[in-house]
């Protein structure tokens, strides 16, 4: 089960109450106030983990509460602090405040840890209020309540390349051919109902290179408004460095115009926003083992006119697969270098 959205309620621990007590012991003529402080409440932490892949553990258990602090006791005994709790999320999770819609944090690397709800401070006991002129105070404080918040979690997969296109154009077959991923493959639309990730290795050790490919469920016209699988998985394309747009050039799809297919999917990406239309893209003509030559020629003319790289492949026979892998690897490396240079420039500017 792939769960990429969840809503949770978290409650940090309340602080313990301060104690009001006076020391009355035999042979102690001057006892005085001895009420201890309450303990602080536990915090709620959130940490990114590579051992988690989905948010399914939040879907069925949406409420989390840290331990409250113990109350103070006599003889100046401070209450024990409440224990913290740590919530683990997959890398790529975005934490959003459900009330304001504000993005709180983006967990983009492993082992990031932040406090998402702070525990309440323990109240002071009456011993804290003693002064030279007020030697028998009866004042004491209640513990402060811990923070209570509602968050929305969104998971955006971290992949270098996203395979996009109409349903049943061969994306799942391609990712199974170039990586160890084994998605469901069938001859009907919307076979893929959840994104699949695969690691592609190019070259041989010690100079081999690798990158991650995501097989995104098929898009159709009107996807950005909710048609088909709608925007449910478009968010996973936001983090990718490169788009590989697959176009079926056989007659199996029942769509006569491959150029229109390209324009529809490009329009959906642009309508969704988030800069998807500006991402680097390579075109892939799939199923060339049973290609309609007129469709293939028309797609080639379109790509030449718009200066787009086109690779003709057959995931069944393996034709063109190696050339496509190396082309993807090269473009990903270019994008990585550009990103590193940009980050260095920003760092120098700061």
Predicted local distance difference test score (pLDDT) of residue 223? 43
Whether the predicted pLDDT of 154 surpasses 80: yes
Residue with tokens 């109409």: 166
Residue with tokens 């199996």: 252
Whether the predicted pLDDT of 254 surpasses 80: no
CA 348 from centre of chain? 28
- What is the mean pLDDT of the segment spanning 135-164? 90
- Residue 297's pLDDT band, with cuts at 50, 70 and 90, is very high
Q: Residue 285, preceding bond cis, omega within 30 degrees?
A: no
3-state helix, strand, coil in the chain (%, to 5): 25, 25, 50
**What CATH number did the domain enclosing 305 receive?**
3.40.50.300
Between CA 199 and CA 132 the distance in angstroms is 72
Is there a single domain that holds both residue 177 and residue 256?
Answer: yes
Is there a single domain that holds both residue 88 and residue 114?
Answer: yes
More confident residue, 43 or 347: 43
* Residue 46: strand pairing partners: 87, 114
What are the structure tokens assigned to 65, written together?
């509460």
Give the best-scoring range by mean pLDDT among 24-28, 173-177, 227-231, 341-345: 173-177
Give the best-scoring range by mean pLDDT among 162-171, 251-260, 296-305: 296-305
Is there a single domain that holds both residue 105 and residue 167?
Answer: no
Residues 245 and 310: beta-carbon distance below 8 Å: no
Whether the predicted pLDDT of 274 surpasses 60: yes
Mean pLDDT score across all residues of the chain: 84
Is there a single domain that holds both residue 86 and residue 231?
Answer: no
- Residue 228's pLDDT band, with cuts at 50, 70 and 90, is very low
Of 130, 155, 180, at which residue does a domain stop? 155
- What is the mean pLDDT of the segment spanning 68-85? 95
* pLDDT over 70 percentage in the chain: 85
Between CA 240 and CA 339 the distance in angstroms is 12
Is there a single domain that holds both residue 244 and residue 302?
Answer: yes
Q: What are the φ and ψ backbone dihedral angles of 285, each rounded to 5 degrees?
A: -90, 110
Predicted local distance difference test score (pLDDT) of residue 344? 56
Residues 288 and 314: beta-carbon distance below 8 Å: yes
**Lowest pLDDT segment from 11-15, 135-139, 210-214, 257-261:** 210-214
Other Cβ atoms less than 10 A from the Cβ of 208: the count is 10
Longest dimension (CA), the chain: 107
**Lowest pLDDT segment from 13-27, 78-92, 193-207, 322-336:** 193-207
- Note the pLDDT tens digit of each residue in 234-247: 777 777 889 999 99
Is there a single domain that holds both residue 132 and residue 245?
Answer: no
Classify burial at 217, counting beta carbons within 10 Å of its beta carbon; exposed 0-12, middle 13-18, buried 19 or more. Answer: buried
| 3 state SS of 271 | helix
Between CA 185 and CA 304 the distance in angstroms is 31
Between CA 137 and CA 129 the distance in angstroms is 6
**What CATH number did the domain enclosing 115 receive?**
2.70.210.12
Give the best-scoring range by mean pLDDT among 140-144, 196-200, 204-208, 231-235: 140-144
- What is the mean pLDDT of the segment spanning 72-79? 93
Buried b (16+ CB within 10 A) or exposed e, 46-85: bebbeebebbeebeeeeebbbbbbbbbbbebbbbebbebb
Between CA 234 and CA 274 the distance in angstroms is 10
Between CA 282 and CA 126 the distance in angstroms is 72
Residues 199 and 210: beta-carbon distance below 8 Å: yes
Between CA 277 and CA 332 the distance in angstroms is 17
Q: Which domain holds residue 304?
A: 161-349
- Residue 233's pLDDT band, with cuts at 50, 70 and 90, is low
Residues 142 and 18: beta-carbon distance below 8 Å: yes
Whether the predicted pLDDT of 226 surpasses 50: no
How many structural domains is the chain composed of? 2
Is there a single domain that holds both residue 280 and residue 298?
Answer: yes
Is there a single domain that holds both residue 151 and residue 271?
Answer: no
Between CA 227 and CA 338 the distance in angstroms is 35
- What is the mean pLDDT of the segment spanning 176-196? 59
* Closest to 90 (Cα-Cα) out of 29, 3, 196, 177: 3
Whether the predicted pLDDT of 343 surpasses 70: no
> Who's near 330: CB < 8 A, 6+ residues apart?
none
Predicted local distance difference test score (pLDDT) of residue 230? 44
Of 124, 155, 186, at which residue does a domain stop? 155
């Amino acid at each position: 089960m792939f769960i990429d959205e969840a809503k949770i309620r978290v409650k940090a621990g309340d602080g313990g109450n301060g104690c009001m007590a006076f020391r009355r012991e035999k042979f102690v003529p001057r006892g005085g106030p001895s009420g201890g402080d309450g303990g602080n409440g536990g915090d709620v932490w959130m940490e990114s983990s590579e051992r988690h892949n989905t948010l399914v553990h939040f879907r069925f258990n949406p409420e989390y509460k840290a331990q409250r602090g113990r109350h103070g006791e006599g003889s100046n005994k401070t209450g024990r602090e409440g224990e913290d709790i740590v919530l683990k999320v997959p890398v790529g999770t975005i934490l959003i405040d459900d009330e304001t819609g504000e993005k709180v944090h983006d967990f983009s690397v492993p082992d990031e840890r932040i406090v998402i709800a702070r525990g309440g401070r323990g109240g002071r006991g009456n011993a804290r209020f003693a002064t030279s002129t007020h030697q028998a105070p009866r004042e004491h404080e209640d513990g402060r309540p811990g923070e209570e918040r509602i968050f929305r979690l969104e998971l955006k997969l971290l992949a270098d390349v996203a395979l996009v296109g109409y349903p049943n154009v061969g994306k799942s077959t391609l990712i199974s051919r170039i990586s160890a991923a084994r998605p469901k493959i069938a001859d009907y639309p919307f076979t893929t109902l959840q994104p699949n990730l695969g690691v592609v290795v190019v070259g041989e050790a010690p100079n081999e290179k690798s990158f991650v490919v995501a097989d995104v469920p098929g898009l159709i016209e009107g996807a950005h408004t909710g048609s088909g699988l709608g925007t449910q998985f478009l968010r996973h394309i936001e983090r990718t460095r490169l788009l590989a747009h697959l176009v079926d050039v056989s007659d199996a799809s029942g769509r006569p115009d491959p150029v229109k297919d390209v324009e529809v999917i490009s329009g959906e990406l642009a309508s969704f926003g988030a800069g998807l239309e500006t991402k680097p893209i390579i075109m892939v003509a799939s199923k060339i083992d049973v290609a309609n030559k007129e469709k293939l020629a028309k797609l080639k003319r379109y790509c030449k006119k718009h200066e787009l790289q086109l690779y003709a492949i057959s995931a069944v026979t393996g034709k063109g697969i190696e050339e496509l892998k190396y082309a993807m690897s090269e473009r990903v490396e270019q994008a990585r270098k550009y990103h590193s240079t940009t980050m260095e420039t920003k760092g120098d500017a700061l």
